[in-house]
Amino acid sequence: MALVTTTEMFKKAYDGGYAVGAFNVNNMEMVQGITEACREEHAPVILQVSKGARAYANHTYLVKLVEAAVLECPDIPIALHLDHGPDFETCKSCIDGGFTSVMIDASSLPFEKNIEVTKQVVEYAHAHGVVVEAELGTLAGVEDDVKVDAADSSYTKAEDVQEFVEKTGCDSLAIAIGTSHGAYKFTAEQCTRNEKGILVPPPLRFDILKDVEARLPGFPIVLHGSSSVPQEYVKMVNENGGKMPDAVGIPEEQLREAARMAVCKINIDSDLRLAMTGTIRQFMAEHPDKFDPREYLKPARANIKELVRHKLKDVLGCAGKA
């Protein structure tokens, strides 16, 4: 199977009450860990590349790594998506350069300007057979060089979504219902603590999601900032020389609930970064004499694979849906 757009994936996900995982990739081990899990679990997958990933690894290397995964996994649909496209030029470069889906993130602009920029990308993308994700509302957290403080983040206004989708012609919409980018999604003050002393974040705003779903029946909704920040990996980092106090993510059962609703794409990046970093830190601490990168990248890739397998089966519900 060649690279696909997300159109068919989202239709099936919407009707089937599950979400497709969108995992960020920056290097070969991430592409391999993610796609091997998806191949074995027969799951569709979206591999996504940010502006920062393109700057780090180079557009061509990333496209070729994803094309290699397509050859290695002929039985599952794979989409190649630009994550948080900051402007028309970046989206155009990805559309011209082999991506099947792009996100234009003009969510920090005023409503009318967001519509204008998104519409421009949609027109170019659709003329080239590529689909477009847009965003309304602002998530807290860090992505590339943009840092949004919790105070400046804002939930999506459900009353805006219909007009936005009609005027822009976008194919899917990322909304802000309380998720956040990175490994520190909430401050300690925003959370309560459970009996083990672990921070428990405020629940997602399912009321907004329900309202959006009612206004846009059948339309695919996207959740960014949906890492759960597994405490086992936070512990692994902290026990092996790292320092990540009070890292906290979105509870997985809430993501499963969102996937049963209109949410068709769930973005997960920080969890994979944590798995990779925790594993490498532990390996380094246990084997101070080793210096062959293959020896520490191998277990890191294996743990990414097992984490993705868990997400597909237990969180997204897309295992067996390829």
- Is 137 an interacting residue with respect to ligand 13P (CB under 6 A)? no
List of residues 6+ apart from 14 with CB closer than 8 A = 218, 220, 262, 264
Which residues within the stretch 85-144 sit at the binding site for ligand G3H (CB under 6 A)? 143-144
- Is 59 an interacting residue with respect to ligand G3H (CB under 6 A)? no
Choose which of 101, 107, 114, 227 interacts with ligand 13P (CB under 6 A).
227
Angle at alpha carbon of residue 39, lines to 33 and 40, rounded to 5°: 90
- In the bound state with ligand 13P, the residue whose beta carbon lies nearer, of 149 and 289, is 149
Distance from C-alpha of 101 to C-alpha of 103, rounded to nearest angstrom? 7
Q: Which of 15, 83, 87, 269 is catalytic?
A: 83
Total interface residues for ligand G3H by CB under 6 A: 10
As given in the structure block, the two tokens for residue 193 are: 């603590």
Choose which of 90, 219, 269, 280 interacts with ligand 13P (CB under 6 A).
269
List of residues 6+ apart from 161 with CB closer than 8 A = 136, 173, 175, 212, 215, 216
List of residues 6+ apart from 291 with CB closer than 8 A = none
Radius of gyration of the chain (CA): 19
- Is 76 an interacting residue with respect to ligand 13P (CB under 6 A)? no
- Is 224 an interacting residue with respect to Zn ion (CB under 5 A)? yes
282 interacts with, out of Zn ion, ligand G3H, ligand 13P, none, CB within 5 to 8 A per kind: none
- Is 185 an interacting residue with respect to Zn ion (CB under 5 A)? no
Q: Are strands 78-85 and 45-50 parallel, antiparallel or unpaired?
A: parallel
- Is 51 an interacting residue with respect to Zn ion (CB under 5 A)? no
Quick check: is 246 catalytic?
no
Among 5-13, 87-95, 198-206, 269-277, which window interacts with ligand 13P (CB under 6 A)? Answer: 269-277
